[in-house]
């Protein structure tokens, strides 16, 4: 009998592969591009650009500090090391998947500008910001044993990061969906392997 956690990872992996396939099918790829451009043009004004630029550039660094400081103060050094290693793994998985899927960013294909400052480098799928945001959300909820309300707030912030990547022209909708799913998969796998390491 398949364990619930293994089943969850399996289901998420299947959904992720479906999302990858959708980026390669001309019809769904075209729909994805149209939807992305609609979001890009939605409320496109200076205030919204500044807000989402802050979200995309500052939320993750702030979150990392807010996570690491309490862990260091409580001298949970093993968890800090685990977190650092996890970050590198998320980065490697993200870059490896980008290389395999090989999807260009919206601002490099469509006649749009990236609105968040310096143009991002590299490929588009999956969104690395979104992937790390959802990895962080899972890590924080499990490590700090958050309440239901706190959990909703954390995932809302992760979703804001994801939306900001579309709004600013850095990613397509499917990129952030893929990033959210893959970030969650990596977080669950690392959580289980981390339990063995931290025992």
Helix (H, G, I), strand (E, B) or coil at 122: coil
Give the model's pLDDT for residue 197.
Answer: 53
- Alpha-carbon span 91 to 99, nearest angstrom: 12
pLDDT at 111: 64
* 25: preceding bond cis by omega (within 30 degrees): no
Q: What is the dihedral of CA 63, 191, 181, 68, to 10 degrees?
A: 10
CB 128 within 8 A of CB 176: no
pLDDT at 172: 93
pLDDT at position 39 is 86
Question: What is the full per-residue pLDDT of the chain (199 aa) written as tens digits?
Answer: 556 677 888 999 999 999 999 999 989 988 998 898 888 887 778 888 899 999 999 999 999 999 999 899 988 888 898 899 999 999 999 999 999 999 988 888 776 788 877 888 888 899 999 999 999 999 999 888 888 999 999 999 999 999 999 999 889 999 999 999 999 999 999 887 765 555 5
Residues 107 and 170: beta-carbon distance below 8 Å: yes
Cβ atoms 117, 57 nearer than 8 A:
yes
Domain holding 110, by residue range, is 4-198
**How many domains is the chain partitioned into structurally?**
1
């Amino acid at each position: 009998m398949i364990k619930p956690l293994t089943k969850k990872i399996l289901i998420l992996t299947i959904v992720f592969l479906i999302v990858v396939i959708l980026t390669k099918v001309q019809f769904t790829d075209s729909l994805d591009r149209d939807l992305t451009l609609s979001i890009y043009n939605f409320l496109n004004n200076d205030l919204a650009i500044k807000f989402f630029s802050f979200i995309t550039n500052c939320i993750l660094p702030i979150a990392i500090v807010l996570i690491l400081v309490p862990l260091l103060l409580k001298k949970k050094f093993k968890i800090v090391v685990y977190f650092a290693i996890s970050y590198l793994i998320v980065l490697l998985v993200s870059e490896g998947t980008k290389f395999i899927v090989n999807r260009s960013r919206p601002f490099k294909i469509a006649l749009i500008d990236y609105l968040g400052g310096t143009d991002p480098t590299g490929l588009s799928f999956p969104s690395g910001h979104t992937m790390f945001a959802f990895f962080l959300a899972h890590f924080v909820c499990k490590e700090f044993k958050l309440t239901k309300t706190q959990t909703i707030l954390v995932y809302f912030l992760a979703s804001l990061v994801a939306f900001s990547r579309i709004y600013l022209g850095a990613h397509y909708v499917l990129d952030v969906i893929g990033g959210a799913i893959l970030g969650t998969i990596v977080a669950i796998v690392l959580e289980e392997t981390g339990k063995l390491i931290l025992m």
